[in-house]
């Protein structure tokens, strides 16, 4: 592996050195600088500098016995974003700028940081290729690059989002989340439609969180009366590709009750396929259903990154195939995954990462010591659903959609929206994420760690 690595590096440097020598010159140049290849051999390479990548890298540093540059982290991004906060941006409660941190500033100096993308994973050779063409080799690989938002999965959506005058927006991107509140404020009458696609998305509750905030905004502005929706200037519909409000029956029932009490029209099994002017086109089985809108909040389809999907690590859906309990690749014993990129049968959230990261780290370190990876993840995930300004329903559950509520024994059933959870969502979680979770010092429901 080191030979191919060095010749790649040398090729990039070659033109300045000897423009006409080609491969031969590269080899000579390579032998002359062995230090470069050493620097690109790591004990652990972590692909992704998001919530999962930073938590895991920093937990590895804290709990393992590593020297400088033993662990590398790879991410092309300039900023780490607190994505769960983008719903709050859409509701006018925070700015998108306050939720981001320059990635360079949070990566511990003991980690080798490659601020670039990945083009391919070659676990069969214990290596991967960076967008620069350079190769990295590793003893263990952690694949946590998140997932891709496929804006062009909906015809006309990229254009509608980019048009500053359109009333089409989405909380799912940094570029578009600030537009959401502008459209909510601008609407004085007509049809507001909030969509959720079929297929896997991150934070499956977010498509309705923003709807509930918007409803409350219009209620306070005198534009929406939940007890008399047909006489209100604004009409609200939730159009989801799924058959229910939420994947977990307990919370789904509570949310559908809210929907009915508040006069929100439910368009179930309506999957948005196109935005044409002020019309939203949905696929409903074989049928096409068209609805006029005055405000449209869209959640695009999402999917794995190509370099994951096209690798030997992928499951049938393109996510990293991992053991559901120990988070080890089912194909390569020195590969691990967590977060949105992992093929785990649970909801993709930052809260899930708080429970996954310590399991992955413990099992990776055990494997390095020649032990079996015996620590187990139970599928814990959580979705703090804003149901109005000042209230959140804190859905918490594990594999199988079984509720696993942290606060129920103190505060009662968590299907009931409460003010305390609103402050967790709005104030505490963003703070603990930035100051503890990214540094590897926060284990979610298990609290602070050293």
Catalytic residue numbers read: 203, 383
Residue count, binding to ligand UQ1 (CB under 6 A) = 13
Would you say 57 or 354 has its CB closer to ligand UQ1?
Answer: 354
Q: What is the CA radius of gyration of the chain?
A: 24
The DSSP result for 278-327, as a single string, is: TEEEEEETTEEEEEE-SEEE---EEE--HHHHTSTTB-TTSSB-B-TTT-
**Shortest distance, CB of residue 173 to ligand UQ1, whole angstroms?**
18
* CA dist., res. 247 & res. 255, Å (int): 11
Instruction: Classify burial at 168, counting beta carbons within 10 Å of its beta carbon; exposed 0-12, middle 13-18, buried 19 or more.
Output: buried
The stretch near ligand UQ1 (CB under 6 A) out of 108-116, 177-185, 305-313, 437-445 is: 437-445
Return the number of the residue (373 or 379) whose C-beta is nearest ligand UQ1: 379
Residue 417 CB, nearest approach to ligand UQ1 (Å): 14
For position 445 contacting ligand UQ1 by CB under 6 A, the verdict is: yes
Q: Which is nearer to ligand UQ1, 8 or 83 (CB)?
A: 83
Backbone angles phi, psi at 197, to 5 degrees: -85, 170
Using CB under 6 A as the binding rule, whether residue 437 contacts ligand UQ1 is answered as yes
Question: If DSSP codes are grouped into helix, strand and coil, which group holds residue 396?
Answer: strand
Q: Tell me which of 160, 201, 273, 350 binds ligand UQ1, using CB under 6 A.
A: 350
C-beta of 171: minimal distance to ligand UQ1 in Å? Answer: 14
Judged by beta carbon, residue 48 or residue 384, the one nearer ligand UQ1 is 384
Instruction: Quote the tokens at residue 375.
Output: 């620590």
Q: Is residue 433 at the binding interface for ligand UQ1, with CB under 6 A as the rule?
A: yes
Q: Which stretch binds ligand UQ1 (CB under 6 A): 17-25, 42-50, 296-304, 347-355?
A: 347-355
3-state secondary structure of 44: strand
Q: Which stretch binds ligand UQ1 (CB under 6 A): 9-17, 26-34, 205-213, 350-358?
A: 350-358
197 near ligand UQ1, rule: CB under 6 A: no
Q: Could you say whether residue 46 binds ligand UQ1 (CB under 6 A)? A: no
How do 279-284 and 148-150 pair as beta strands? unpaired
Based on CB atoms, which residue is closest to ligand UQ1, 146 or 241? 146
Q: Cα–Cα–Cα angle for 287, 288, 293, nearest 5°?
A: 145
Q: Is 397 in the site for ligand UQ1 (CB under 6 A)?
A: no
Measuring CA to CA, how many Å separate 168 from each of 159, 192, 225, 340, 369?
10, 10, 23, 26, 53
Q: How far apart are CA 436 and CA 450, in angstroms?
A: 10
* Residue 99 burial (10 A CB sphere; 0-12, 13-18, 19+): buried
Residue 444 binds ligand UQ1 (CB under 6 A): yes
Residue in 425, 355, 417 with CA at minimum distance from that of residue 85: 425
Instruction: By CB under 6 A, tell whether 429 contacts ligand UQ1.
Output: yes
DSSP 436: I
Binding region for ligand UQ1 (CB under 6 A) out of 104-112, 204-212, 323-331, 426-434: 426-434
**Residue 382 contacts ligand UQ1 per CB under 6 A:** yes
Nearer to ligand UQ1 among residue 347 and residue 354 (C-beta): 354
Question: Per rule CB under 6 A, is residue 414 in the interface with ligand UQ1?
Answer: no
At residue 408, what are phi and psi to the nearest 5 degrees? Answer: -55, -35
Residues 6+ apart with CB under 8 A from 67: 110
Selected from 354, 356, 367, 414, the binder of ligand UQ1 by CB under 6 A is: 354
* 210 lies in the binding site for ligand UQ1 (CB under 6 A): no
Report whether 364 contacts 140 (CB < 8 A).
yes
Q: Which of 48, 84, 91, 373 binds ligand UQ1 (CB under 6 A)?
A: 84
Using the rule CB under 6 A, is 338 a contact of ligand UQ1?
no
Minimum gap (Å) between residue 393 Cβ and ligand UQ1: 12
**Binding region for ligand UQ1 (CB under 6 A):** 84, 350-351, 354, 382, 384, 406, 429, 432-433, 437, 444-445
């Amino acid at each position: 592996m080191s030979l191919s690595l060095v010749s790649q590096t040398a090729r990039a440097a070659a033109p300045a050195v000897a423009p006409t020598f080609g491969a031969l010159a590269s080899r000579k140049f390579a032998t002359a600088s062995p230090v470069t290849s050493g620097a690109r051999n790591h004990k652990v390479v972590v692909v992704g500098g998001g919530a999962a990548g930073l938590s895991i890298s920093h937990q590895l540093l804290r709990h393992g016995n590593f020297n400088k540059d033993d662990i590398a982290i790879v991410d092309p991004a300039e900023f780490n974003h607190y994505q769960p906060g983008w719903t709050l941006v859409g509701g006018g409660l925070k700015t998108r700028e306050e939720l981001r941190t320059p990635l360079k500033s949070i990566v511990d100096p003991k980690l080798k940081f490659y601020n670039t993308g990945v083009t391919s994973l070659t676990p069969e050779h214990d290596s991967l290729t960076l967008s620069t063409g350079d190769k990295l080799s590793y003893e263990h690989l952690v694949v946590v690059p998140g997932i891709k938002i496929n804006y062009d999965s909906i015809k006309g959506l990229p254009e509608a989002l980019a048009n500053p005058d359109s009333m089409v927006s989405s909380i799912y991107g940094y570029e578009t989340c600030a537009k959401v509140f502008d459209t909510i404020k601008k609407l004085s009458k007509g049809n507001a439609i909030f969509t959720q696609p079929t297929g896997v998305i991150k934070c499956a509750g977010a498509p309705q969180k923003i709807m509930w905030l918007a409803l409350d905004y219009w209620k306070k502005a005198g534009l929406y009366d939940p007890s008399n929706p047909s006489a209100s200037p604004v009409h609200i519909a939730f159009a989801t590709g799924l058959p229910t409000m939420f994947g977990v029956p307990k919370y789904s029932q509570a949310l559908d009750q809210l929907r009915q009490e508040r006069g929100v029209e439910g368009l179930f099994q309506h999957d948005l396929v196109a935005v044409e002017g002020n019309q939203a086109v949905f696929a409903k089985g074989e049928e096409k259903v068209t609805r006029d809108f005055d405000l449209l909040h869209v959640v695009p389809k999402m999917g794995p990154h190509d370099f994951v999907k096209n690798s030997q690590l992928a499951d049938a859906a393109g996510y990293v195939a991992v053991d559901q309990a120990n988070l080890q690749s089912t194909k390569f014993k020195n590969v691990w995954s967590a977060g949105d990129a992992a093929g785990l049968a649970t909801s993709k959230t930052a809260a899930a990462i708080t429970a996954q990261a310590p399991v992955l780290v413990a099992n990776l370190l055990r494997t390095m010591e020649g032990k079996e990876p015996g620590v187990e993840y139970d599928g814990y995930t959580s979705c703090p659903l804003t149901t109005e300004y000042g209230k959140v329903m804190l859905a918490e559950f594990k594999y199988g959609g079984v509720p696993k509520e942290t606060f129920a024994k103190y505060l009662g059933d968590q299907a009931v929206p409460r003010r305390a959870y609103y402050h967790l969502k709005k104030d505490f979680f963003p703070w603990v994420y930035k100051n503890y979770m990214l540094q590897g010092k926060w284990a979610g429901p298990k609290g602070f760690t050293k």
